[in-house]
Amino acid sequence: MDPIHALTLADVLAEHRRSYPDQTAVVCRDDRYTYPELDARVTRLSNAFRAAGVGTGDGILWLGQNCHRLLECLLAAARCGSVFCAANWRQTAQEMAFVLEDLQPSVVVWQEEEIGPTVREARELAASTSTWIRHDTGEPDGYEAVVASAAPDEPVDEIGPASPVLQMYTAAFSGRPNGALLSHTAIIVQALMMARLQEIDWDYVYLNSGPLFHVATLMTTMATFQLAGTNVFTPRVDAEELCRLIESERCTGAFLIGPTLDQVLDINRGGRYDLKSLRTFAGRAEWNEMITVDTSPWARRPAGYGQTEVMGMLTFNAVGGPATGTAGRPSPVSRVRIVDPEGNEVPPGEVGEIVARGPTVMTGYHRRPEINAERQAGGWHHTNDLGRREPDGSISFVGPKTRLIKSAAENIYPAEVEGCIARHPAVAEAAVIGVPDPTWNQSLKAVVVLRDGASASAEDIIEHCRASIASYKKPRTVEFVDRLPRQGFAVDYDALDARFGGGGYPGRG
């Protein structure tokens, strides 16, 4: 891209240095830096990375908890054209070793506090040859010493905004996690969307209390950064510390989930802390009295549909007014289609795979050429999830794409039928398999677990489906079992096939 039209994360930081010279950028324990101070630290850190042999496209791995240095490493990677990855610090040594071997980072920035033994074991398991920098130490070879001793000169390299700068590992549906590569543009565009919907501006103070190795927290972190707000970091969730930080830093936003809210309510029942600066979702009356109820579009109609591979959200409930679809409407910066297995768009009301195009879509997975070819077939990002476009144009999420069942000329997705069966009041859970059929190629068999004390016949289940979905999608037969076989959390469909005669799947036999 022509430099006159380019914008990277490093460019955003450099602009904030000029436009917000007195604004606090980050707060972390005793550390507090303005945007000019953050920019200077990031410049030195990027030069330190280059001196350690980090080249364009090389990996920088963070093995630690939430900290302002994590954001510094991401921005330094942006400045020197490399790719930053924050691993899940709760992982086992074996899981961390997998990330080390898969990413093959040039530099690892790691933490001793709480997770040091696990990190060291992972390093031995992976036989890492990376440069290792401990961030939570005052030793001469520690992070702060590295930053202080590096050159202060800003690099002059031109970094393309479409190049990857962030790698985030996704769930291991294929047996191993995949590292989704996200560009500068993907992060910036999604940040602007989140800033609009969450009403984030320069005076927003975000408490980074959720996991920064997860896109759900990072979306708001980067929206706060993009709008020159203040990011406050805490290493992990501690309700008392969250209360203290909200009061002392006048936090206006935070990543909070149900159990944490209950803990905050218990700790602050006597009003020990002033939490009125916190603008967040409404809850019980006592919670609403303690905080300021958020009225932003995101708070009024939160969520939608998304995944790591699209830098968070692909559709929003808060976009485009009322919608009948469960996932709202597509983001105005994305194109969404619902397609059949051949890539053809299906009519409204029909279920198919959700595919997308747009600036927030990942550039691909790190070192996964075969999966990339599959997920980017036809010039669209294939989400591996099923959805439906409703007559009003909005989108409903149906479920993950599993096996395809082919009945005559009709494509049937088990997830849609399973969701229908699960809505029967007597059903606890259900799985659908395809069984060979001499007339129709395959027919559907439902394997159903009933709720304790409930009763239903096969005819009840079949008629329930006939009334809710197209007749050709209803199961032909139903088997009742005490429980579904599983591999971990996932239903073991191979075991169901073996027990109940499943087979005949397109392309599989």
The pLDDT assigned to 507 comes to: 61
pLDDT for the residue 488? 77
pLDDT for residue 509? 47
In whole angstroms, give the CA distance from residue 108 to residue 96.
12
Superfamily of 3-10+21-182 according to CATH: ANL, N-terminal domain (3.40.50.12780)
pTM above 0.85, yes or no: yes
408-415 long-range CB contacts below 8 Å, 24 or more apart?
408/440, 408/441, 408/472, 410/472, 410/473, 411/340, 411/341, 412/444, 412/472, 412/473, 413/351, 413/386, 414/444, 415/386
Nearest to 366 by CA among 105, 186, 178, 86: 178
pLDDT at 508: 60
Q: Is 332 exposed, middle or buried (0-12, 13-18, 19+ CB in 10 A)?
A: exposed
Residue 102 structure tokens: 């898969």
Cα→Cα distances 296→92, 193, 198, 293, 303, Å: 39, 13, 6, 9, 13
What is the model's pLDDT at position 151? 97
- pLDDT profile of the chain (509 residues), mean per 10: 90 98 98 98 98 96 98 98 96 93 98 97 95 97 98 89 97 73 98 98 97 96 98 96 98 93 94 97 96 98 96 97 96 97 94 96 97 96 95 93 82 90 96 92 96 96 92 94 88 94 77
> Rounded to an integer, what distance in angstroms lies between the CA atom of residue 103 and that of residue 178?
10
* Superfamily, domain 405-500: ANL, C-terminal domain (3.30.300.30)
Q: Where are the domains of the chain?
A: 3-10+21-182, 307-400, 405-500
Q: Report the alpha-carbon distance of residue 425 to residue 126 in Å, rounded.
A: 50
Region 307-400: CATH code: 2.30.38.10
